[in-house]
Amino acid sequence: LTGDGAAAARYIEARLTKFALHVAYSPKVTQWQLSYDGRANEPLHLPMKFPMLLAMGVEGIAVGLSTKILPHNFIELIDASIKELEGKPFKLYPDFPTGGTADFTNYNNGERGSRVRVRAKISQLDKNTLVITEIPFTTNTQSLIDSVLKANDKGKIKIKKIEDNTAEHVEILIHLPSGISPDKTIDALYAFTNCEVSIAPLACSIHEDTPLFIGVKDVLKRSTETTKGVLKAELEVRLSELREQWHFASLERIFIEEKIYR
């Protein structure tokens, strides 16, 4: 949110949350390998029963390839998955954890060439103060403040000072000189700063070791099929366990009834 760096790459171990234990942890249908020090086993991959790729979003670049899948709303993903199972049409649009407003007119299912415009939420606190309480996705408070200061230096906007009171929630105060119109300043902030950004999604994923350029709807459909496959595998394992229990219980009963024991 504020632009602080992530933890060092050496922190490679993680503890699963209750939700992750429910939708991503199934030891009996998971492929395992030795950990980096050989003292424990670790999963090759987690058998995900939830479209985590769409929920979290991802951005990356490799040799000749790049991807930018935007995050989506948890409930909307569940509803879309249910509609997919029911054979009903569904719509799916990104939902940004940083808030703001977005124009999805040219979203085009997140495929190559699509565009999303995202704006910060700016309101007037008083006649000389503006407050930003939500910022566009792909920005942080520091980069947004830097863009405002840069626009002020270039004469695109006129501000007296800017304060960052962000803690749990975003709060950036922009103090205006006397006689400066708040409405015109808001328009200028959208035009000349990172208060409005344009995002170019590109849904590229790896399927069977091959890059695959598909829309987010197709990603959800594949995720739903994966979920069905994992659930089927879990049920087959459970059925095998129950059959084995029944088999041994039957043998035990026969041994007792026929007195085949010492």
**Residues catalogued as catalytic:** 11
Dihedral class, residue 57 (left if φ above 0, else alpha if ψ from -120 to 50, else beta): left
Take residue 21 and report the two structure tokens written for it: 């234990």
Take residue 163 and report the two structure tokens written for it: 């304060």
Beta carbons within 8 Å of 163's beta carbon, 6+ residues apart: 172, 173, 175
Take residue 132 and report the two structure tokens written for it: 């930003």
- Please tell me the number of Cα atoms within 13 Å of 183 on its side-chain side: 0
Q: Which long-range contacts (CB under 8 A, 24 or more apart) does 5-11 make?
A: none
Distance (Å, rounded) from C-alpha 41 to C-alpha 55? 27
**CA-wise closest residue to 53 among 167, 257, 212, 178:** 212
**CA-wise closest residue to 196 among 124, 101, 129, 261:** 101
Residue showing tokens 């407003």: 101
Beta bridge partners of 134: 121
Take residue 179 and report the two structure tokens written for it: 């006689």
Residue 174 in contact with residue 148, Cβ under 8 Å? Answer: yes
**CA-wise closest residue to 56 among 69, 43, 75:** 69
Dihedral class, residue 184 (left if φ above 0, else alpha if ψ from -120 to 50, else beta): alpha
